[in-house]
Structure 1
């Protein structure tokens, strides 16, 4: 089973990019972030023509998340992260697909930091951590995938010294990510590439793509039920070079049908 996450940076404006990638990569599940589209404008017709069923949680001009399943309709299990009834931002959606629960998330950016946006990011992260612990306790196959807006370590950013005060790299955020992993989640990409400088995002400015000045902020986390099935994890870097591309590249994992020996 191939599960991917892709911040599309506008699902309608970059629909040709999304459809091309779906045709070439053929993920079984694709988690999308930053739809920047209200629910009624989500391009479900084109996505169905591409062979995918979908659920989505949109928002005009900002945010938005969706889960696509190849040849199937995802069964929605949650819309919105619990813990704050007043939070109306579209940042979390969850579905059951082929016996696995998939949580698709778009964690707040948090800049400028410090400030109200950074405080919101930390609160959202705390809510995510509490919910993740609850789901792990159920001992069910679970995936958390999306744009976490966190560079976990210095290996995940091209020049760490330039990002010390950024909301994606501040100590509080990195500590929150470590705390999440400590519950028992496996960072799939880092597990398969423990010492590699590997990126998922390249800014549009300052020729970041051409210079390979990237960040690793898109992550796929596997529950303890799924981690032994991890067979591969990669970044489809070439997608960042498409015409009118998103500033993110898709990240994907492949899960075997049965448990495999863990990498050492």
Structure 2
């Protein structure tokens, strides 16, 4: 439930500035935090020091990851495919493309992720997604913003992958919107949190083969009518939590391009390596 705070509306911890208009949820997202009980939080931090997001080890400073969990994360560093962002075994140059990007070019321009999908990143994603741990959002968004710094700086508008309204009702918030809002806040960018809509409910993608994933989300997304003017001619940064086969972000990209977006880049927290056997 949004919380009124003067002229500002708060929804799921995201500050929305109504002066920019409500078309498609277009807002200047200035920060991601909980607006109330800040003095109480300081007292709680003194009584109960912050702990590691994953293993609950007490930390001396701000909440985050302990050294052990940090070291276990598989951060994606260069060299990687200039188009898909997949790690490469050797450096192909600044514009080097993977075999997959050459054989099956995606509709988006570039994709980047902060880390590979492994035990630690999966715990973070599930904590945000299924256990309502909204405090993970700003940290995850910070790592994403560093991994996709060029994409963020060049974007005109940040848009999250949407949930169907039935799933949004049951989950109460969209984890991709939390990440998109936090990235926009860090970069002082506009975010259109409701520009994309999921126009039909689809079975969960978990466990589906690549071809089945593509069929599952084909035609499932559209740009909201009132948001089309905000999308047209603009460079869009599409945000999600995990890149698996790319079926979802490709379907979203096609919907944005149909609405005449100038270009679409993709930024996720984690991406699945082709050899990964971990469940999503």
Task: Please indicate, yes or no, whether the TM-score normalized by the shorter chain is above 0.5.
Answer: no
Q: TM-score, normalised by structure 2?
A: 0.30
TM-score if structure 1 supplies the norm length? 0.31
Larger RCO, structures 1/2 (Cα 8 Å, 6+ apart): 2
